[in-house]
Amino acid sequence: MLAAVKTTTYREINTQEWDMPKLEEGEVLIKVDYCGVCGSDLHAYNHASSYHFVDLPRVLGHEISGRVIDVVDERDQQLLNKHVFVESIQYCGNCSNCLEGKTNICLHFNVIGLHYDGGMAQYVKCKSHFVQEAPSNVDSSVLSLVEPMAIAIHAVETISNVKKGHKVLVQGAGIIGFFVAITCKELGAEVVISGLQEDKDTRLFHTENFGITSYINSELNTLSQDMDVVFECSGSTRALVEGFSLLKKGGDAVWVALYEQDIELPLALIVRNEWTIYPSYGCVPTDYKRALEIIEKYTNQLDSIVTYYPFEKAHLAFEDALKKKVLKPILTF
């Protein structure tokens, strides 16, 4: 089969012949239709220090949708020929965190496409209990958006305390920032999203399709400093610190992005203002159900924020994403 493979520590990804996955007990084989390029994929592509755990060569990709074409176990026969999407965080189910429902921080978890080969290939194998059948009324072209939407659902509805009427700032004009903003709007919050100057014409203008107000970062000083919640989704440590300046006393800071370096925090201000910090990582299985509901509601608008690339042009998709030329690149197969 053909796959888009990260082979070296250099900033490159190559389309090449790759071994067909061999199924083991409990696994299914998926013919991939679409695979999104995620921020985590970009970190791995850049060989960022926090992603040195990714062994090379590696087929990246965890935002996977496709059709099941083979199974091993009799109990999985009902998945044959069904359109499905894949849960990215693949947990043990037995550790203390899993038993508390916190499968996203399983003590032994793996992420498909990082710890082992993922969906940027014509075929991918996966344990059947991490495969969810897609509703027939959700178009397969947007199914690979379910996973990033589930991450937003987890941050907004599981981790944070966003309520109707809350003032919310979302920092970061990438797909997670967009989906966090949409989810907050669904809860009745007053939402603004911010990004860089270069985001204005390539990414931020899409907010109009969702009824969300956007600002470039240099304009944020015109906002009142009384945000109930600030979501940091950009991955910028500078933005993370600046977010506190717009947070009201007693407000919440929710950190959704991953960062490539450590920083000093204004600890005295955090204590004196009783700001609560909530890290949010990944999602749990129940987040996907709610994600599907929002994906279904906004299917027409979501198509406008996606740029599709044939998987043979994976390198271009990665480069365009890094240069912020597109909001959401998705590889097609």
What class has domain 2-149+283-332? alpha beta
Coil, helix or strand for 176?
Answer: helix
> Smallest Cα–Cα separation from 22: which of 45, 1, 51?
1
SS3 105: helix
| Per-residue burial over 250-265, b = 16 or more CB atoms within 10 Å of its CB, e = otherwise | ebbbbbbbebeeeeee
Contacts of 319 (CB under 8 A, 6+ apart): none
Structure tokens at 87: 């849960």
Q: Is the dihedral of CA 317, 322, 323, 325 positive or negative?
A: positive
The amino acid occupying position 35 is C
- The pLDDT tens digits for 6-33 are 999 999 999 999 999 999 999 999 999 9
What fold characterizes domain 161-279?
Answer: Rossmann fold (3.40.50)
Q: Which parts of the chain register pLDDT below 50? A: none
Q: For residue 251, give the nearest of 158, 150, 163 by alpha carbon.
A: 163
Q: What is the pLDDT of residue 202?
A: 86
Token code pair at residue 78: 């009902």
Q: Coil, strand or helix: which one is 214?
A: strand
Residues ≥6 apart with Cβ < 8 Å to 54: 6, 44, 114, 115
Each domain of the chain, given as residue ranges in start order, spans 2-149+283-332, 161-279
Buried b (16+ CB within 10 A) or exposed e, 203-231: bbebbeebebebbebeebeebeeebbbbb
pLDDT of residue 317: 98
Token couple for 26:
């409990």
Neighbours of 130 (CB within 10 A): 19
pLDDT of residue 198: 86
Q: What local confidence, expressed as pLDDT, does residue 134 receive?
A: 95
pLDDT in tens, 119-145: 999 999 999 999 999 998 888 889 999
